[in-house]
Amino acid sequence: MELDEALKASKMPMIVVHFDDNFETTHAEEYNMENFELAEWQIESLARMLLPSIREYYRNPEYTDAVNERMKQQNEELIDV
């Protein structure tokens, strides 16, 4: 049995990530992701962990300026169409 077939047959959700010699990601393969489901407590736990970083990111004036500029450009492109 080939590796692909074995991974699919396992029914276990997984992502296989391939790296080059410099440890840069070359590609990723997903298997059985339809079997992947997070419990509500896992989602809430992840959200609690990420929230402080997200708040800090959005407080950064450089970010807000860049987002505002990007939105302005997108609006202008939509108007031109």
Angstrom distance (rounded) from CA 33 to CA 26? 20
Is the pTM for the entire model greater than 0.75?
no
pLDDT of residue 80: 73
Positions in the chain short of pLDDT 70 = 1, 81
Asked whether 66 and 72 are in contact (CB, 8 A), the reply is no
Residue type at 16 in one-letter notation:
V
Q: Residue 16 — φ and ψ, nearest 5°?
A: -100, 120
Asked whether 29 and 13 are in contact (CB, 8 A), the reply is no
